[in-house]
C-alpha cells in the first residue's frame, strides 16, 4: 500500500490518457496526500480458508447434525429437484465469477497472450483429462474406460472460485508475480467453459455405443456428428460469439449512459453482476454454454480497460462474489453425499482416498512442469510446480457432475434407465464429490505462512519495482486501445 505525495501524483498523472484517468467522469477519484492506492487484490481475504469453513458450516447445519439447513426438504423431497437446484446454484456462482474474472484482465489480454493460453487450454488441458481418466479407470474396480473419460472430464477444468486464493489476497500480492496471476485468471476462466467437449465426447459415445447402443440408432458415427455439431458449433462457438457481442454492446451502452450521466455510481459498480445474470438467463434459454459466454463477455466488456480502471478501488463486486462463494460451499457441505463415501457399490474407501492423492499429484503437475518453458509467465521451476499443483477442483466439477447426471437420466429405454447409465451416474456422484472435497481441503496450503515466495530471490513482487511501477499499471496498460 503506497501513500503518494500530492506533488508527485499530480505531475505523474498529468500525462495519462483519457482511457486510464477520465477527468470528465461522473466518478472522480482524487488522490490526496494521505490516500492509499488500492486494488481488489489487496483485500485481506483467505479465500480457501473461508471455503473450508463454509463447507464445514454446511456439514454442521445439515440434517444429520443441527438440522438448520435442509436441502432435501427445500426440494420437496425430490432428489432430482435437489440436483437441479445445486446445478442452478453452481451455474450462478460460476457465471458471476467468470464475468468478474474477465473484467479483471487488462485490455486485450486474450489477444496478446493467445500463445500461452493455447498451450494451457489445448495440450495441457487434454493431458489433464487423459491423466485423470486413466487414474480413475485404474482405481475404480470394473469401470469401463468410456465411463472413466466422463468422470475425468468433470474434474479437468481448474476452478475459478478456489483459484482466488492464488490471484487475490495478501498471499498473491506478496508472493505471486502479477503476470502469473493474470495467466492463472485467464486459464481458470476459459477452461471452465471448455469442459463440455471432453464430457460430451464420452457421453455421446456411451449413449450410442455403450451396451450395444441399447435403445439408440446411428452408432459411433452419429455420436461424433452430434459432438461436432451440438457441442462444438452450437455450445462452444455460439457461446463465444454471443458473449463477445453482448460484452461489447454492454460496454458501448454503459459508455453512452455515463457520458450523459444517466447512471449513478451504485448502478455502475454492479453492472458486471447484472451482465452475468443477463447472460446466464439468455444463454440458458437458447441452450448454449453460458459459463464460457460469461467469461468472453467479461473480456469484451473491458476490452478498452475503461470499466476495470474505473472500478479499480471498488470493493462491492469482490464482496458480492465472496458472499456467493461462501453460500455455495455451505450448500455443498449440506448436500454432499458423505455417507456414500463409506458405503457404496462403486469403490472402497481406501481406494477412494488413494485416488484423491493420485489426482492431486498427477492430474496437472507433470504436464505443466514439462511445458513451463513454453509459457513465458512461468519463469522458474518452482513457479511451474506452483502452477502445476494449484489447479483446484471445485464448483466447476459439481457443475459438470450434474450436467452429466442430467444427460444420463435421458438415456432410457422406455421407463427404465439403461444399466450402464445408472452405473455411471453413481460413479460420478461418489468420485467427483470426493475429489472436490479433497481439493478444497488440500488447497489451504498456499496460504500457509511458511509458503515460499514465487518471485525472484524470494522477495515480494513490489520490492522489485520502482515507485512508478508500483503506483500505476505497466505502460502498455495505459496506452489507448
Question: Per residue in 71-84, pLDDT tens?
Answer: 999 999 999 999 99
Band of residue 10 on the pLDDT scale cut at 50, 70, 90: very low
The H or E element containing residue 314 is none
Q: For residue 33, how many other CB atoms are within 10 A of its CB?
A: 11
Q: Residue 239 is placed in which grid cell?
A: 457461446
User: How buried is residue 458: exposed, middle or buried, by Cβ count under 10 Å (0-12/13-18/19+)?
Assistant: exposed
Q: Which of 221, 213, 222, 217 is nearest to 418 (CA)?
A: 213
Range 269-290 average pLDDT: 93
Contacts of 160 (CB under 8 A, 6+ apart): 94, 97, 98, 101, 185, 188, 189, 192, 395, 396
Residue that is written with C-alpha cell 453482476 in the block: 273
Rg over CA atoms, the chain = 23
Q: Which of 469, 432, 473, 113 is nearest to 308 (CA)?
A: 473
Range 127-154 average pLDDT: 97
- Measured in whole angstroms, the distance separating CA 214 from the mean position of its chain's CA atoms is 36
3-class SS of residue 248: helix
Range 111-132 average pLDDT: 96
Band of residue 48 on the pLDDT scale cut at 50, 70, 90: low
What φ, ψ does residue 344 adopt, rounded to 5°?
A: -155, 170
Q: Residue 174 is placed in which grid cell?
A: 506478496
What would the pLDDT profile of 108-121 be if each residue is shown by its tens digit? 999 999 999 999 99
Band of residue 6 on the pLDDT scale cut at 50, 70, 90: very low
Secondary structure letter of residue 2 according to DSSP: E
Q: How many angstroms separate the CA atoms of 372 and 32, rounded?
A: 43
Please report the pLDDT score of residue 411 as a whole number: 85
Q: How many angstroms separate the CA atoms of 392 and 205, rounded?
A: 28
What would the pLDDT profile of 418-460 be if each residue is shown by its tens digit? 889 999 999 999 999 999 999 998 866 444 433 445 554 444 4
CB contact at 8 A, 421 and 453: no
Q: What percent of the chain has pLDDT over 70?
A: 80
3-class SS of residue 141: coil
Please report the pLDDT score of residue 468 as a whole number: 29
* Residue 161 predicted with pLDDT over 90: no
Q: For residue 19, how many other CB atoms are within 10 A of its CB?
A: 16
Which of 195-199, 368-372, 466-470 is predicted with the least confidence, judged by mean pLDDT?
Answer: 466-470
Amino acid at each position: 500500500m503506497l501513500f503518494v505525495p500530492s506533488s508527485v501524483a499530480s505531475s505523474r498523472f498529468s500525462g495519462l490518457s483519457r482511457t486510464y484517468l477520465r477527468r470528465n467522469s461522473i466518478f472522480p477519484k482524487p488522490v490526496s496526500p494521505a490516500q492509499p492506492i488500492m486494488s481488489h487484490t489487496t483485500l485481506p481475504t483467505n479465500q480457501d480458508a473461508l471455503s473450508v469453513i463454509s463447507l464445514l458450516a454446511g456439514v454442521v447445519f445439515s440434517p444429520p447434525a443441527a438440522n438448520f439447513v435442509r436441502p432435501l426438504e427445500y426440494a420437496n423431497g425430490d432428489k432430482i429437484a435437489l440436483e437441479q437446484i445445486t446445478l442452478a446454484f453452481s451455474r450462478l456462482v460460476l457465471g458471476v465469477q467468470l464475468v468478474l474474472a474477465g473484467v479483471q484482465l487488462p485490455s486485450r489480454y486474450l489477444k496478446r497472450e493467445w500463445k500461452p493460453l493455447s498451450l494451457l487450454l489445448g495440450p495441457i488441458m487434454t493431458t489433464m483429462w487423459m491423466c485423470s481418466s486413466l487414474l480413475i479407470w485404474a482405481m475404480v474396480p470394473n469401470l469401463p474406460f468410456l465411463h472413466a473419460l466422463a468422470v475425468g472430464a468433470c474434474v479437468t477444468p481448474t476452478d475459478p472460485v478456489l483459484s482466488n486464493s492464488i490471484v487475490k489476497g495478501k498471499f498473491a500480492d506478496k508472493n505471486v508475480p502479477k503476470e502469473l496471476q493474470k495467466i492463472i485468471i485467464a486459464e481458470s476462466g476459459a477452461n471452465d467453459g471448455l469442459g463440455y467437449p471432453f464430457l460430451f465426447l464420452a457421453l455421446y459415445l456411451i449413449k450410442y455405443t455403450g451396451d450395444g447402443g441399447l435403445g439408440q440408432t446411428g452408432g459411433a458415427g452419429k455420436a461424433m456428428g452430434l459432438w461436432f455439431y451440438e457441442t462444438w458449433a452450437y455450445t462452444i462457438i455460439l457461446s463465444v460469439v454471443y458473449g463477445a457481442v453482448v460484452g461489447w454492446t454492454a460496454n458501448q451502452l454503459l459508455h453512452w449512459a455515463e457520458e450523459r450521466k444517466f447512471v449513478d455510481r451504485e448502478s455502475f459498480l454492479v453492472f458486471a453482476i447484472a451482465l452475468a445474470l443477463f447472460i446466464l438467463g439468455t444463454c440458458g434459454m437458447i441452450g448454449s454454454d453460458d459459463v464460457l459466454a460469461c467469461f468472453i463477455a467479461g473480456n469484451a466488456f473491458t476490452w478498452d480497460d475503461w470499466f476495470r480502471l474505473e472500478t479499480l478501488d471498488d470493493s462491492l463486486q469482490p464482496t458480492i462474489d465472496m458472499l456467493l462463494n461462501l453460500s455455495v460451499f455451505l450448500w455443498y457441505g449440506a448436500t454432499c453425499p458423505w455417507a456414500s463415501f463409506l458405503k457404496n457399490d462403486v469403490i472402497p474407501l481406501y481406494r477412494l482416498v488413494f485416488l484423491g492423492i493420485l489426482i492431486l499429484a498427477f492430474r496437472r503437475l507433470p504436464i505443466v512442469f514439462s511445458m513451463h518453458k513454453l509459457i513465458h509467465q512461468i519463469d522458474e521451476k518452482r513457479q511451474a510446480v506452483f502452477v502445476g499443483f494449484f489447479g483446484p477442483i471445485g464448483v466447476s466439477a459439481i457443475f459438470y457432475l450434474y450436467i452429466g447426471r442430467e444427460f444420463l437420466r435421458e438415456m432410457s429405454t422406455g421407463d427404465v434407465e439403461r444399466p450402464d447409465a445408472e452405473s455411471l451416474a453413481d460413479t460420478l456422484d461418489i468420485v467427483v464429490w470426493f475429489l472436490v472435497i479433497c481439493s478444497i481441503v488440500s488447497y489451504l496450503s498456499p496460504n500457509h505462512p511458511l509458503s515460499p515466495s514465487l518471485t525472484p530471490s524470494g522477495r515480494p513482487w513490489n520490492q522489485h519495482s520502482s515507485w512508478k511501477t508500483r503506483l500505476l499499471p505497466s505502460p502498455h496498460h495505459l496506452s489507448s486501445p
